[in-house]
Structure 1
Amino acid sequence: MTELKPLSRRGFLATAGAATAGLTLGFHIPFGEAQAQGSIPPEINAWVVVKPDDTVVIRIARSEMGQGSLTGLAQLVAEELECNWAKVTTEYPTPGQNLARNRAWGNFSTGGSRGIRESHDYVRKGGAAARMMLVQAAAEQWKAPVTECTAANSVVTHRPSGRTLRYGQLADAAGKLPVPTDVALKDPKDWKIAGKSVKRLDTVDKLTGKQVYGADLQLPGMLNAAIKDCPVFGGKVKSFDAAAAMKKPGVKKVVQVGDSAVAVIADTWWRAKSALDDMAIVWDEGQHANVSSESIAAMLREGLEAKEAAVGNKVGEALTVLAQGAPAGGHIVSATYGYPFQNHATMEPMNATAKWTPDFCEVWTPTQNGEAALAAASEASGLPPAKCEVYKLHLGGGFGRRGAVHDWVRQAVAIAKEMPGVPVKLLWSREEDMLHGRYHPVTQCKMTAALDANGDVQALHMRISGQSIVAGIFPQNIRNGVDPVVFQGLNPPGPEASIGYSFPNLLIDHAMRNPHVPPGFWRGVNLNQNTIYLECFIDELAKAANKDPLEFRRKLMANHPKHRAVLEAVAEKAGWGKPAPAGVFRGLAQCMGFGAYVAACAEVSVSKDGKVKVHRIVASTDPGHVVNPQQVEAQIEGSFVYGLTAALYGECTVAKGRIEQENFDTYPMMRIDEMPKVESVLIPSGGFWGGVGEPTIAVAAPAVLNAIFAATGKRVRSLPLKNHDLKSA
């Protein structure tokens, strides 16, 4: 195993400040001086190092978890830097270094498809500033006007004389120059590295096994820990007998972690887990021991009819119109949908290695937010953040689980405090990971619409009843009972997750009902179920109006050209309106989320015995700009793996207060032979920066569900599909 040696803060600063080691460039952004003085909140500063051999080290604050942000952000820097892409490498700055420099790198959070869309401006300016400084250094050495010098491929050229200097030769001099404050960026149409399908920077290490994940980490003298938490959320440890475990080979210590968990520390993880499995632990299961999926569903059904609800989107007077009954010659259409708890089920279970002394605490962990991990380490260690450090590793899957909540980091530090000065690696078992996740929220949605004699929607009411992630994780962000995240994809027209249809009367509200199962930001978050609810109901309305689903949507999209553009792109590519292959049926869905517009057309068949086969999905996306087309296509394909797995199989049920699905035998993943052919249509329209990793998930299930109805005449209004008899009606 590869040993990772921690870089001390002093060592990092000394290296960064040594001019003889190369050029360390600060990426200036507006208000940088004011931020340094603390007069306004700090903004992001990124850093890059140019070594004497022309190697460019680009420091990336965001996390790499398979989505490709590491490469995409490096492309943006390299584009403006005009460096040799073949000599680009990357590294993570640590949150401790960020703290010591007044948050020079800004936000470390990687989620919500924000990795590139919220970083592009300052990292591009950083690359451009670096290029300008290198050119200035060359001009001063030649005693020539800067305007006579150009940079390309890590070389500065004096055009009149043809003289050249490499970036590595200019590094020392350039590092002593002031950072430019007026930085112009390239027009994307002039990109040479960004916007191209370059190879990912992390692929080779993954293929050769060189890449170290948290589960792989080895440190000198390291011990290992396994843990069990009370299987009922909110329960506690009542008692345990450590005597037998302490007699097992290699066991060093048995400790209670907080009031709800027990851990065993041993020389190997397997010995720790085996001793833990043999230990008699008695749980106080608490007040939630009798909660079931049925009791939770009843709670949500009550919310569908509750008088009080938080309003997320309101146009006109939908309730008044609906109370008047069906318009002359029209219809009242109503349907109730539901969405279950789902687990992130990352391939790499939660883990962290911690080393604690009374003076300093260090943590090595895969995390989507290094700063949140640092805060968790500080809280658990009893030390201030300045006396803690977190070393971020690549993630073996994140999907939101390793973002807002760092329970495993707190546990690892608490365990390490029992062995001062010794690094201890805590690795959750698969069962522990499945039973103690932060689950996709459970919700139900009742929709009622009035159609007039022409089949036009006169009013629509959507009542969502269910869990609030924000109430469970960031309760301080609830304002007047409203969790804005609940309404993803259903908001009024705007820059973030806006609804793609116009209705003369519309009410979308939320009756918050929070069961004891802890919620989390699951890839795609609330856009997933909200798109199912709306897009499947739109299909139901089209059927009631006796109209083609595409034409029905087009009419509602008159004021939403970007939504309409992606929908029409998939319809054209899929051949909507033309005969599908024999036995194959099509379904549509569209939405806007995480700053991007997406749509899908699914081609599905259902056998006589009710087996669903998704043959093909055509997906279109407009994220504004595309930094690496190949990565975007890979993200779309990966979205459908995740989204279709959820649609086919994803369900966590509750019995006696606990999650029933403990491993992949009861929480299956989609198999490779079930994966449809995916055809991507990228139509970046420019002018904005949208996300890629999450939006497309949301259209996977509703496109398939609408195709299933076309094939069978059956409406599936709850997931997963494994629970339904899909034989033709």
Structure 2
Amino acid sequence: MKRRTWLLGTTAGVGALLVGWAALPQRSRLGIANLMAPGEGDFALNGWIRILPEGGVVLAMPRSEMGQGVHTALAQLAAEELDVPLSSVRIEQAGWDAIYGNVAMLYGFLPFHPRDEEREDGFGRVKAGRWLVGKIGRELGINATGGSSSVADAWDVVRLAAATARASLVGAASLRWRLPVEDLLVVDGFVTHSSGKRASYGALARAAAATPPGRVELKDRKTWQVIGRAAPRLDLPAKVNGQACFGMDVRLPGMRYAALRLAPTLGGAPGRIDASAALAMPGVERLVQLPAYAGSSAGFAVVAANYWQARQAAQAVEVDWRPGPWAALDSTAIARELEEAVRSREGFTFYSQGDAEASARDGGARTLEAWYSAPFLAHATLEPMNATARVDGGRVEVWAPTQVPQPCREAAARVAGVPVDKVELHVTLLGGGFGRRLEVDYVAQAVRVAMDVPGVPVQLIWSREEDTAHDFYRPMHVARVRATLDGQGRPVGLQIRSAGDAISPRWMERALPAFAGPVDLPDKTGSEGLFDQPYGFRHQRIEHVFTHTGVPVGYWRSVGHSHNAFFLESFIDEIAAELRQDALALRRDLLRESPRHLAVLNLAAERAGWDRIPPVAGRARGVALHESFGSIVAQVLEVSLAGGMPRVHRVVCAIDCGTAVNPQIVAQQMEGAVVFGLTAALHGRVDIRNGAVQQRNFTDYRMLRLAAAPVVETYIVASDRAPGGVGEPGVPPVAPALAAALFKLTGQRRRTLPLADLA
């Protein structure tokens, strides 16, 4: 009895502590000045902003640049609030304090309908969930670049940090000149007064560092000069003149190179190894065995004076491979298993409204049903996996193109057996991420190799073949979609049951093992884009059956939206065909209570001439609409067939991404997303036979060629909302719009990706 009383008392005490913690204000993310490394003669004014002697601004940059323009967009936020030209802002890698964690990305894991918060009256479950996740995110400080969340996360904190610094600079001038703060202005990095007094930020920085900011106000939107305007990208000059440093560009004195080979079957490992011939080759120094780090297969690496020597030697190693536990994996069998899971198992219900099953039993009602599927996909980043590491005297230094600096440091520390504060990480530019560089396997491998050559930096480079055959793939998904049409032919009910592997628990096991739990929780990525769709079906039931096939799965650009948009939007087209309605007209009817979505759809249709200008002979148009990562995108594709192959000529894209910080970057991201989405929609598939991935290089994992790239027109809806995502939302509508156009051309309904093979 005493033990029971003690347990109850402890539980109550912990509960009280949690309630008390939850009631505290959220931790400030401004940070303190000493979080930024000082330079000669400059002064940090908080954890984000440092002022240089000549008056320039240094912005702490916690996000990775992988072509999405985030370094420029965040610099624009700082430049706006500090009233300096964008060219005056420099960036440097942020440190590891929790203020740099990506809180907005964690919001994206909450399984709420986008309009749930708008419907709430007061502090409901959505606002409570966001409050709690916000507090946890500020404490954990998980620094990651993903989920199209970088600008959304920085929107408040970077502007506030810059505005706070501006207030301190103006306050310092006020004290120096003995003039009221209200009488001072800031213009192009100078504090001025009508009397002619003028001082640069550099001249005021020392005093500003000791001056409390006083009242801090963000600039009125009407006065913006930088935000909302096209501006040249800060990373462009270095990429043009060759000074940009990607992971594979790292060069250090005495550096060695390593090439690896991993077990050909997923989860396999090397058995007997004969490296005698390889070690006798010129420049070859050693072979290092690699355990199965962070979800990878096991293998080995060969270290040599240059990469080509290492690559040739690795291929010369004779090895007996052990197949491992997943040697029987077969993607065709997995597809059948997923379909059976949909037929026989109830899934987790992400959203339910009305009574979808009862609506299907109403007199006069009829049901329309279709099955859809999407294959495993590889990331195929232009720059294959690589990292450089040096291990010496209990310290580890790593150079890596990564989306997750903090988990990379922790992985390096685990492998080397040192405290994490003994790991120094330099984040390089990324030659493509798309979610693949949310993983840490390649960093762990580089550190393990470097441990065998103490004090010598080693650059580990994966070949394209290893990169394709040992990815963390977009999971295969299958979906059964049903609609109920009432006696008047109106769509009133929607039931969707999908099946596929959960991504988030698997990723946490690999990248955040300290936070990975023993039980899988429902993973929003399985049903996102289905349960949170905007169409006005009165009765809905959206569920997902979570599976665990054994195939290593990971986040892939647009994640669940990338295939779920194909399922849902293709089915909307099928409903329109069943009702003999125009696909655009049906969507307009179903979006009567979703004005933002309707506005985006109408903008794309109007710019494409959907209602006004018929396509030229031999071409057809398809339309699709999708919301993801806080942004709404509609696309109209104009398509023809040439020699039996689809050819996309024109893509008209409309987007409501809230405030467009840099419209030029938004347009660039839509163009890149269209090419990425077309590559996947036309050609993308990974086949697994006997536990081995069959695709190896771009010869059999095809990319869209330059000659096949369409003209992309982007139109941005003006908005006063906070920014949504841009890097990922342009991908999901591509495949369904393409499929809709192909149906008009061929009369065949394509429900399985990819779409290029029309035989």
TM-score, normalization: structure 1? 0.90
Tell me if the contact between 2:491 and 2:537 (Cα under 8 Å) persists in the aligned partners. yes
> Secondary structure in 1 aligned to 2:244?
coil
Find the partner of 1:215 among 244, 248, 269: 248
Find the partner of 1:390 among 425, 435, 456: 425
> Secondary structure in 2 aligned to 1:305?
helix
How far apart, in 1, do the equivalents of 2:253 and 2:447 lie? 18
> 1:549-599: CA deviations, max 9, x gaps?
112112211221111111111111111123222222111111111011111
Residue 106 of structure 1: CA displacement? Answer: 4.3
- How do 1:530-679 residues align onto structure 2 when only pairs under 5 Å count? 530-578=564-612, 579-607=614-642, 609-679=643-713
- Residue 356 of structure 2 aligns with which residue? 318
How far apart, in 1, do the equivalents of 2:587 and 2:183 lie? 56
> Secondary structure in 1 aligned to 2:618?
coil
How far apart, in 2, do the equivalents of 1:627 and 1:470 lie? 30
Tell me if the contact between 1:96 and 1:386 (Cα under 8 Å) persists in the aligned partners. no
Letter in 1 for 2:435: G
- Residue 320 of structure 2 aligns with which residue? 282
Moved more, 444-453 or 535-544: 444-453
Q: Is residue 74 of structure 2 the alignment partner of residue 73 of structure 1?
A: yes
- Residue 119 of structure 2 aligns with which residue? none
How far apart, in 2, do the equivalents of 1:24 and 1:654 lie? 53
Distance 1:513 1:706, change over 3 A: same
Q: Is residue 65 of structure 2 the alignment partner of residue 56 of structure 1?
A: no
Residue 91 of structure 1: CA displacement? Answer: 1.5
> Secondary structure in 1 aligned to 2:216?
coil
> Secondary structure in 2 aligned to 1:619?
strand
Residue 242 of structure 1: CA displacement? Answer: 2.1
Tell me if the contact between 2:261 and 2:300 (Cα under 8 Å) persists in the aligned partners. yes
How far apart, in 1, do the equivalents of 2:557 and 2:631 lie? 15
How far apart, in 2, do the equivalents of 1:654 and 1:716 lie? 22
> Secondary structure in 2 aligned to 1:118?
helix
- How do 1:435-474 residues align onto structure 2 when only pairs under 5 Å count? 435-474=469-508
Tell me if the contact between 1:61 and 1:105 (Cα under 8 Å) persists in the aligned partners. no
> Secondary structure in 2 aligned to 1:695?
coil
- Residue 205 of structure 1 aligns with which residue? 238
Tell me if the contact between 2:681 and 2:755 (Cα under 8 Å) persists in the aligned partners. yes
Tell me if the contact between 2:36 and 2:94 (Cα under 8 Å) persists in the aligned partners. no
- Residue 229 of structure 2 aligns with which residue? 196
Letter in 2 for 1:302: E
Distance 1:66 1:685, change over 3 A: same
- How do 1:29-44 residues align onto structure 2 when only pairs under 5 Å count? none
- Residue 734 of structure 2 aligns with which residue? 700
- How do 1:90-489 residues align onto structure 2 when only pairs under 5 Å count? 90-95=91-96, 106-159=141-194, 161-180=195-214, 182-258=215-291, 260-322=298-360, 324=361, 327-328=363-364, 330-403=365-438, 405-474=439-508, 476=516, 482-489=522-529
Letter in 1 for 2:669: Q
Q: Which runs of 5+ in 1 are unaligned?
A: 1-11, 27-45, 492-497
Letter in 2 for 1:23: F
Residue 95 of structure 1: CA displacement? Answer: 3.6
Distance 1:169 1:104, change over 3 A: farther
- Residue 495 of structure 1 aligns with which residue? none
> 1:121-156: CA deviations, max 9, x gaps?
000011111111111111222121111111010111
How far apart, in 1, do the equivalents of 2:664 and 2:140 lie? 27
> Secondary structure in 1 aligned to 2:336?
helix
How far apart, in 2, do the equivalents of 1:721 and 1:462 lie? 22
> Secondary structure in 2 aligned to 1:721?
coil
Moved more, 192-201 or 545-554: 545-554
> Secondary structure in 1 aligned to 2:349?
strand
Residue 391 of structure 1: CA displacement? Answer: 0.6
> Secondary structure in 1 aligned to 2:152?
coil
Distance 1:672 1:357, change over 3 A: same
Distance 1:319 1:239, change over 3 A: farther
Residue 722 of structure 1: CA displacement? Answer: 2.6
Residue 621 of structure 1: CA displacement? Answer: 0.7
Distance 1:104 1:203, change over 3 A: farther
Distance 1:175 1:361, change over 3 A: same
- How do 1:683-722 residues align onto structure 2 when only pairs under 5 Å count? 683-722=717-756
Letter in 2 for 1:320: A
Tell me if the contact between 1:241 and 1:281 (Cα under 8 Å) persists in the aligned partners. yes
Distance 1:135 1:99, change over 3 A: closer
How far apart, in 2, do the equivalents of 1:478 and 1:254 lie? 36
How far apart, in 1, do the equivalents of 2:157 and 2:521 lie? 35
How far apart, in 2, do the equivalents of 1:106 and 1:480 lie? 23
Moved more, 626-635 or 246-255: 246-255
Residue 358 of structure 1: CA displacement? Answer: 4.2
Tell me if the contact between 1:311 and 1:507 (Cα under 8 Å) persists in the aligned partners. yes
> 1:578-636: CA deviations, max 9, x gaps?
322222211111111101111111111224x4221111111111111100000000000
How far apart, in 2, do the equivalents of 1:488 and 1:22 lie? 46
How far apart, in 2, do the equivalents of 1:99 and 1:152 lie? 29
How far apart, in 2, do the equivalents of 1:377 and 1:473 lie? 17
How far apart, in 1, do the equivalents of 2:139 and 2:542 lie? 41
Distance 1:319 1:97, change over 3 A: closer
How far apart, in 1, do the equivalents of 2:372 and 2:453 lie? 51
Number of residue pairs the alignment of both structures matches: 680
Moved more, 431-440 or 353-362: 353-362
How far apart, in 2, do the equivalents of 1:513 and 1:682 lie? 38
Letter in 1 for 2:647: K
Residue 383 of structure 1: CA displacement? Answer: 1.0
Letter in 2 for 1:486: G
Residue 291 of structure 1: CA displacement? Answer: 2.0
How far apart, in 2, do the equivalents of 1:267 and 1:13 lie? 41
> 1:248-298: CA deviations, max 9, x gaps?
111111111115211111111111111110001111102322322211111
Residue 196 of structure 1: CA displacement? Answer: 0.7
Tell me if the contact between 2:42 and 2:51 (Cα under 8 Å) persists in the aligned partners. yes
How far apart, in 2, do the equivalents of 1:397 and 1:209 lie? 17
Letter in 2 for 1:682: I
Distance 1:481 1:167, change over 3 A: closer
Computed over aligned residues only, the root mean square deviation of the Cα atoms, in angstroms, reads 2.2
Letter in 1 for 2:345: K
Residue 705 of structure 1: CA displacement? Answer: 0.8
> Secondary structure in 2 aligned to 1:272?
helix
Letter in 2 for 1:87: S
Tell me if the contact between 2:94 and 2:100 (Cα under 8 Å) persists in the aligned partners. no
Tell me if the contact between 1:96 and 1:385 (Cα under 8 Å) persists in the aligned partners. no
Q: Is residue 44 of structure 2 the alignment partner of residue 24 of structure 1?
A: yes
Q: Which runs of 5+ in 2 are unaligned?
A: 1-32, 102-136, 293-297, 510-515
Letter in 2 for 1:243: S
Moved more, 254-263 or 692-701: 254-263
Residue 480 of structure 1: CA displacement? Answer: 7.3
Distance 1:99 1:530, change over 3 A: closer
How far apart, in 2, do the equivalents of 1:584 and 1:15 lie? 57
How far apart, in 1, do the equivalents of 2:308 and 2:99 lie? 36
Residue 685 of structure 1: CA displacement? Answer: 2.2
TM-score, normalization: structure 2? 0.86
Tell me if the contact between 1:354 and 1:364 (Cα under 8 Å) persists in the aligned partners. yes
